[in-house]
Amino acid sequence: MAEERKLYGLVLAGGQSRRMGRDKALLQRDGRTQLRFAVELLQGVTEQQFVSTRAQQQDDAERQCFAQIVDRYDNIGPIAGILSALETHPGVDWLVLACDLPNLDRQTLDHLIAHAAVEKPFTAFRSSHDGLPEPLCAIFRAHSAAIIRAFVEGGLVCPRKILIRSDTMLLQQPNPAALDNVNTPDDLASSILHAAQ
């Protein structure tokens, strides 16, 4: 019998939120931060959960409530957090989430896990908007670290482009709105979030 693969959860919360103008991880929903909402979703489907953060953010009170993985790379965006997690816990598969997905639900995560391809380095949903891979709600297998590292060393750091150019299993979203994110105050106003006071 094959050994069961470990699946850890990672919430990407190291962004600078320039377009929003405030830390998206700390936006409130139903009395919880968006960061806590994402971690709690992962608690139901992964063995351990971590928050990806930049060194400057690791003393933030909300982030300190959770196990953190501090980025080992600077100025390369969310792929820094993903690669840092893969390198911190080699041999582990990761379910990676952005911290700005207010409509994400357990059904979407269950579907992703149930239909993930074991042999492929990446499993992601097709965007309900443009059909391209959604890299920030996706499974990154342990062996994807070398693939990502090669792209980064070659100057390609966009997670979506990495998945497009790789052997990625693509799934249809069971809930088309689940991966709609918030990037700007206008997005925020039209979402279920409200600004942290």
* CATH code, domain with 58: 3.90.550.10
The pLDDT of residue 27 = 77
Closest CA to 137 of 119, 111, 118, 156: 111
The pLDDT of residue 58 = 82
Neighbour-count burial for 88-111, b at 16+ CB within 10 Å, e otherwise = ebeebbbbbbbbbbbbbeeebbeb
Residue 107 within any structural domain of the chain: yes
Domain that holds residue 62: 7-189
The pLDDT of residue 130 = 93
Residue 195 within any structural domain of the chain: no
Residue 158 within any structural domain of the chain: yes
Residue 81 within any structural domain of the chain: yes
Residue 194 within any structural domain of the chain: no
Residue 197 within any structural domain of the chain: no
The pLDDT of residue 197 = 35
Residue 82 within any structural domain of the chain: yes
Angle of CA points 54, 52, 193, to nearest 5°: 100
Residue 97 within any structural domain of the chain: yes
pTM tops 0.85, yes or no: yes
CA separation for the pair 169, 159 (Å, rounded) = 14
Question: pLDDT under 50 in the chain at which residues?
Answer: 1-2, 19, 21, 192-197
Structural domains of the chain, count:
1
Strand blocks (E) in the chain: 7-12, 28-29, 32-33, 49-53, 68-70, 93-98, 122-126, 133-140, 168-171
